Structure 1
Amino acid sequence: MASNPTPSGMHPREFVAFIAALMGVNALGVDLMLPALADIGRDLRVSEANHRQWVITVYMLGFGAGQLVYGPLADRFGRKPILITTLVGFVAASIFAASSATFAALLGARLLQGLMSASTRVLAVAIVRDGASGRAMARTMSIAQMIFFIVPILAPTLGQGLLELGPWRFIFYALGMFAAFVLAWTLMRLPETLPAGRRVSISISTLKRSYRLTLTNRFSVGYSAAASLTFGGIIAFVSSSQQIFVDEFGAGDSFTILFAVCAGAMGFASFANSRLVERLGTRMISQSAVVALIGLSIVHLLVALTSTETLTSYVVFQALSMTCIGLCGANFGAMAMDPVGHIAGTASSVQGFITSIGAVLVASVIGQSYSGTTLPLAIGYLAIGLVVLLLIFIIEGGKLFQARMNHADPG
């Protein structure tokens, strides 16, 4: 693939920062309102505490479904026009959310936000893939994700600060302002990364061929499914974090700090991955992380079953689990994308759909099982680790912990 992974006119550091900011639109869309879930529930008369989680899961549902649309459009019209259009739509959806008078209206606005923010995931991957592949792509995405994971660390604190200034509706206005900032950056600095000669017309036959290539390649669909499971673990933690830290452990005053510790572990993992992936390979790192996640989950499950869980033990187990998951995400994504890079936009859409919708289903099962203990999370993470390991075993033809080096899969 191309030796220069950055678009012309953008310094490598600016490019990584831009990709991180683009991904940050979605991260803020998920995490910024976590401190406000209780206020939203009271203000909009949500009687069941677990139903507040739908503010997160409905957004992720839209995020997953929207990704099927943007890839083919980006492969046909280019990356920049689609990104501009959807960022404008995200700003509008944020205003709708801020003015919601009922919980149903808010969920509708959140669904629209998710549909619009879906482009940020598809286009971030496609823009990076336009200039890099394999380990180089994994390294660029890891650096961007390292910066991106700062957002979950800071977002609840920022959300809490906004609540000090006014009602929960301020949070959605802030989301719209950040999206507007990224929109301005896109307009002024991002060149088009898909040359006209590489664009693909939209037709039923073209889409069928692209979908077939993406869905029949075992690395593409297999690692997308693996990513959906680990991503589901993240969403399950995020959507239930306010209930666990505040309601179960009574740590409301420390919620933002404790959440930051767990989210920061993913940032550390992404930084470590960016330094190690080109030397050790995507397979060695991600497979080791999955095995470690299984071991951690077994110990955590024993602690939860014996009713010896404390706030400290939960934070330690959660932070270590998030480290393992952080070592999987960028690597699974790179391995899924590599054999279908010539249709990066459409492939990113399909893979993103699989990853996000699967993650919503996984997170919903775990999150809605919350009943006042950490047991559902411990069981859920163990199940995720075991199923992912089985998937990897199938994808790799029974060969684990081996770096595969060929034209289709430089892992």
Structure 2
Amino acid sequence: MSKASSPSATHGLPYWELVTMVALLMALNAAAIDIFIPALQEIGSTLGVTDENTRQLVITAYVVGFGAAQIIYGTLSDRFGRRPVLFAGLAIYVLASFAAIFSPTFGVLLAFRALQGVGAAATRVIAVSIVRDCFGGARMASVMSLVMMVFMTIPVLAPNLGQIIMAFGSWQEIFVVTGIVGAAALVWSALRLPETLHPEDRRPLTVKRTAEAFRIVLTNRRAFGYTLATALIFGVLFSFINQAEQIYTGIYDIGPAFTLYFSMVAIFMAAASFTNSKLVERLGMRRLSHGALVAFTVLSVLQLVISTALGGIMPFWLFLVMMTLTFCMFGFIGTNFNALALDPLGHVAGTASSVLGFMQTLGGGLLGALIGSFYDGTLLPLYAGFTVLSLGSLACVYYAEGGRLFDRPREKHEHAAEVAAQTR
């Protein structure tokens, strides 16, 4: 058995605690995005932002900082280990959270939001690297699905928590909450998280070795193809998050209760991720994720056709049902695509995680912001974006698999073959 799948792979930390800790680190990112959705209107009013679409930059600034910084943390963690890099990132996240409370202008707030994202980037890179250090193959996908199940509860809780805070306070208190949660994660990981990077896997911090690690990631057909596919799907997710408040309160006039409907969609996403964790080792990553992506694409096209026929706006019940079905598919796509991209790159897991995260998050965030900027009071820009990005993602998967889809048998042997080819 390889060290990535042996019983001692969790380095003495109980399995449940490792999964919970990794989930919390990942959840910091979702919380820092979704908890601010109910506050966008008040932030804009307080800081003099009159254009509704401009308010979306509160989300975009964080995502850009979060995505861009990942390119650094992976290389550092492959050299110095997972723990010190994680602690540095969490410290930046906490400091930026508390500093943002005193933002005098919208521009300063965006700068602190970007810095908050820079700090949070370490948690994403290290969380994925820890899982890859400890597990491999379908087992890694199963663990990541459990992590994502916990992670997916955050979009259920965070917007409603943000709404409660806004009912009794202001957007400044939301930054206080994110800072406190970040500090708690820092203390827990400092006390309990072991170093999971094996000494023989440490890579010297030299330009040549770093460039070689990046070359391995970018020239691996499967890793590169699935990374692009994930970035496009993330673009769909971020485009919906950016426009959620405007759609629910502007088109459908739901009011503050819109967070409950937003959470309803997230509940089904979490359920799908949990189901994936139970099925992936039996059915395989490809069958589940490829089938979900095809369904995701069909649903996106169908929503575009229906909304166009109805003048750009669906009845609310139909919108909610179609959106829920669409994002259920996301629960079978994201974790499996990440596992398929990262599985052949275990010998450079930290750098691989950072490069993949950089491309997926930054690319998805910018695409989501672009689609959000076209919001015109109808659903057409959103569904047009869904359709284009899902078709593009399907094309990337087709490229990654060399023209094959749903091809499970290769999963048993491809990891050793690809690593051998890269190290020759």
Same fold (TM over 0.5): yes
Q: Is the 8 A contact 1:139 1:274 kept in 2?
A: yes
Provide the residue aligned with 1:163 in structure 2. Answer: 166
Q: Which of 6, 14, 17 is residue 11 of structure 1 equivalent to? A: 14
| 1:409, distance to aligned residue in structure 2 (A) | 4.0
Per-residue CA distance 1:41-99 (angstroms, 9 max, x = gap)? 00001011000110001111011110011001100010001111111110000011111
Does residue 348 of the first structure (1) align with residue 337 of the second (2)? no
Task: Measure, in 2, the Cα distance between the counterparts of 1:347 and 1:14.
Answer: 25
Provide the residue aligned with 1:213 in structure 2. Answer: 216
Q: Is the 8 A contact 2:93 2:179 kept in 1?
A: yes
Does residue 55 of the first structure (1) align with residue 58 of the second (2)? yes
Provide the residue aligned with 2:422 in structure 1. Answer: none
Per-residue CA distance 1:179-229 (angstroms, 9 max, x = gap)? 001001101110111132321110010011100000000111110111101
Task: Measure, in 1, the Cα distance between the counterparts of 2:136 and 2:379.
Answer: 39
Task: Measure, in 1, the Cα distance between the counterparts of 2:234 and 2:201.
Answer: 31
**Matched letter for residue 114 of structure 1:** G
Task: Measure, in 1, the Cα distance between the counterparts of 2:387 and 2:203.
Answer: 42
| 1:4, distance to aligned residue in structure 2 (A) | 3.1
Provide the residue aligned with 1:23 in structure 2. Answer: 26
**Matched letter for residue 393 of structure 2:** V
Does residue 98 of the first structure (1) align with residue 90 of the second (2)? no
Q: Which of 271, 278, 281 is residue 281 of structure 2 equivalent to? A: 278
Provide the residue aligned with 1:362 in structure 2. Answer: 367
User: Which moved further from structure 2: 391-400 or 61-70?
Assistant: 391-400
Q: Is the 8 A contact 2:231 2:364 kept in 1?
A: yes
Q: Which of 371, 375, 389 is residue 394 of structure 2 equivalent to? A: 389
Q: Which of 393, 406, 411 is residue 405 of structure 1 equivalent to? A: 411
Does residue 241 of the first structure (1) align with residue 207 of the second (2)? no
**Matched letter for residue 26 of structure 1:** N
Task: Measure, in 1, the Cα distance between the counterparts of 2:235 and 2:123.
Answer: 19
TM-score by length of 2: 0.94
**Matched letter for residue 145 of structure 2:** S
Does residue 320 of the first structure (1) align with residue 320 of the second (2)? no
| 1:6, distance to aligned residue in structure 2 (A) | 5.0
Q: Which of 221, 225, 229 is residue 222 of structure 1 equivalent to? A: 225
Provide the residue aligned with 1:130 in structure 2. Answer: 133
Provide the residue aligned with 2:420 in structure 1. Answer: none
Q: Is the 8 A contact 1:6 1:12 kept in 2?
A: no
**Matched letter for residue 174 of structure 1:** V
**Matched letter for residue 189 of structure 2:** T
User: Which moved further from structure 2: 336-345 or 389-398?
Assistant: 389-398
Task: Measure, in 2, the Cα distance between the counterparts of 1:233 and 1:299.
Answer: 15
Q: Is the 8 A contact 1:83 1:120 kept in 2?
A: yes
CA RMSD in angstroms comes to 1.3
Per-residue CA distance 1:117-154 (angstroms, 9 max, x = gap)? 01111111100000111111110000010011101100
**Matched letter for residue 348 of structure 1:** S
Provide the residue aligned with 1:371 in structure 2. Answer: 376
Instruction: List gaps (5 residues or longer) in structure 2.
Output: 417-424
User: Which moved further from structure 2: 194-203 or 178-187?
Assistant: 194-203
Task: Measure, in 2, the Cα distance between the counterparts of 1:99 and 1:253.
Answer: 25
Q: Is the 8 A contact 1:6 1:128 kept in 2?
A: no
| 1:303, distance to aligned residue in structure 2 (A) | 1.6
Matches within 5 A, 1:53-132: 53-132=56-135
Task: Measure, in 1, the Cα distance between the counterparts of 2:414 and 2:131.
Answer: 17
Task: Measure, in 1, the Cα distance between the counterparts of 2:82 and 2:374.
Answer: 40
Per-residue CA distance 1:388-411 (angstroms, 9 max, x = gap)? 11111111111111112344349x
Matches within 5 A, 1:245-324: 245-307=248-310, 309-324=314-329
Structure 1's consecutive aligned runs of 4 or more residues displaced over 6 angstroms after TM superposition are none
Per-residue CA distance 1:208-259 (angstroms, 9 max, x = gap)? 1100000000111110111101111111111110000011110014211100
CA gap of 1:235–1:5, structure 2 versus 1, over 3 A, is farther
| 1:318, distance to aligned residue in structure 2 (A) | 1.2
**Matched letter for residue 362 of structure 2:** I
Task: Measure, in 1, the Cα distance between the counterparts of 2:182 and 2:8.
Answer: 24
Identity of aligned residues (%): 42
Q: Is the 8 A contact 2:293 2:390 kept in 1?
A: yes
Instruction: List gaps (5 residues or longer) in structure 1.
Output: none
**Matched letter for residue 258 of structure 2:** F
Counterpart secondary structure, 2:10: coil
| 1:167, distance to aligned residue in structure 2 (A) | 1.3
Does residue 174 of the first structure (1) align with residue 180 of the second (2)? no
**Matched letter for residue 137 of structure 1:** M
Q: Is the 8 A contact 1:5 1:132 kept in 2?
A: no
Provide the residue aligned with 2:341 in structure 1. Answer: 336
Q: Is the 8 A contact 1:4 1:131 kept in 2?
A: no
Counterpart secondary structure, 1:405: helix
Task: Measure, in 2, the Cα distance between the counterparts of 1:84 and 1:408.
Answer: 35
Task: Measure, in 1, the Cα distance between the counterparts of 2:306 and 2:297.
Answer: 14
Q: Is the 8 A contact 1:6 1:15 kept in 2?
A: no
Q: Is the 8 A contact 2:71 2:358 kept in 1?
A: yes
Q: Is the 8 A contact 2:238 2:368 kept in 1?
A: yes
Per-residue CA distance 1:289-327 (angstroms, 9 max, x = gap)? 111012111221122112260111111111111111221
| 1:361, distance to aligned residue in structure 2 (A) | 2.2
Counterpart secondary structure, 1:47: coil
